[in-house]
A and B are shown apart, each in its own frame.
Chain A
Amino acid sequence: MTETRWDVAPGDRPGISVSEQGTFSGFFVYTIGLLLAVILTITSFWVANTSVLWTPGVPAGLVVLAIAQMGVHLVFFLHITTGPDNTNNILALAFGVLIVLLVLGGSIVIMANLNENMAAHTEPMNLQMQH
């Protein structure tokens, strides 16, 4: 009896054949994911609305919570793991994340930089307008 070594399909739980996925343990996995996601969502809304926290740190905290929740969704809803039968899925995901980070980070850095330089130019113009 030899077992083949194909990667698991994205969205399937690894190590379990397709027909055996609809068991109680599957229900358990989704429910844990839902509970974690609810906790993270409620924390996000609380962080955005509370005055207890140091205000300049709030956006960074929100980003961290969002990334954590996306991780929860990937692990508990899409069943992405680091196991050997998930290599293809993880590699594709890692490439996607790389492109997303390049697009997001590059655009935000460049636009912020440009904004700063533009602001330096507009100030003297405003002064001229006041004369």
Chain B
Amino acid sequence: MNIAVGVDDVHEGELVNTSEAGPAPKRIVVSYGFWIFLLSDIVMFSALFAGYAALARATAGGPTGSQLFNQQTVAMETAFLLLSSYSCGLMSLAINSRGYFGTFLGAGVTFLLGAAFLSLELREFATMIAIGATPQRSAFLSAFFTLVGCHGLHVAVGLSWLVLMMIQLAMRGFSPVVERRLHCFSLFWHALDIIWVLIFTVVYLMGVVP
């Protein structure tokens, strides 16, 4: 008897074991699944990065990176994306405290900054294509457009996702489903910013360094 009481006492003070606690709440399961998706997305980007690194010097007599890249544009793009990541973080704070105004404000700022990033990038692509630096010109440009274009595509998908989430939030309020989706969106947006850090370093800054 005494022994049994002692064992019970030990268990009383400790945290419940995971297997005894049962399945985790859906918020944790969903976020974890999305986290694994994001990591697989990053693995895909690493293949594109490897392709770019192998082909960066294969310009086939065409324009090189240092002739094409405008550092001012890149600095502005970086600033827009970093600030949108920050405002997305503030939006998730507002979501956790269930503030409608803060959430819509954060989402609006995030959307505008993301759209500014995307429009700068599209303008950069357009000027490059206008002077003949198309993806068909050289292996370097093929790899460049694949890598940076894939990131831009992700940003575009993220922007439309954000619009959809704002519509859902307006229609359904802070239901658990909407909250989970918004949480996944903020994970997605932060991951895009992490990938952009590598892009502006490897593609733009190293492309300018002789």
A interface residues with partner B (beta carbon < 8 Å): 2-12, 18-23, 26-27, 30-31, 33-34, 37-38, 41, 44-45, 47-49, 55, 58-59, 62-63, 65-66, 69-70, 73-74, 77-78, 88-89, 92-93, 95-96, 99-100, 103-104, 106-108, 111
Contact = CB atoms under 8 A, between A and B. Distances in A.
A89 B205 contact: no
Given A4-B16, A11-B183, A66-B197, A100 B46 contact: yes
Given A58-B209, A88-B32, A34 B201 contact: no
Contacts of B94: 22
- Of B97, B200, B201, B208, most A-chain CB atoms within 10 Å: B201
Contact of A6 (B25, B75, B79): B25
Interface stretch (B49-57, B109-117, B119-127, B145-153): B49-57
Interface of B: 12, 15-18, 21, 24-25, 27-28, 30-32, 34-36, 39-40, 42-43, 46-47, 49-51, 53-54, 71, 75, 78-79, 82-83, 85-86, 89-90, 92-99, 183, 186-187, 190-191, 193-194, 197-198, 200-202, 205-206, 208-210
Contacts of A21: 92-93, 96-97
Given A45-B75, A66-B198, A107 B28 contact: no
Contact of A108 (B27, B43, B53, B85): B53
A5 B82 contact: no
6 contacts: A10-B31, A11-B186, A23-B97, A70-B194, A73-B85, A107-B51
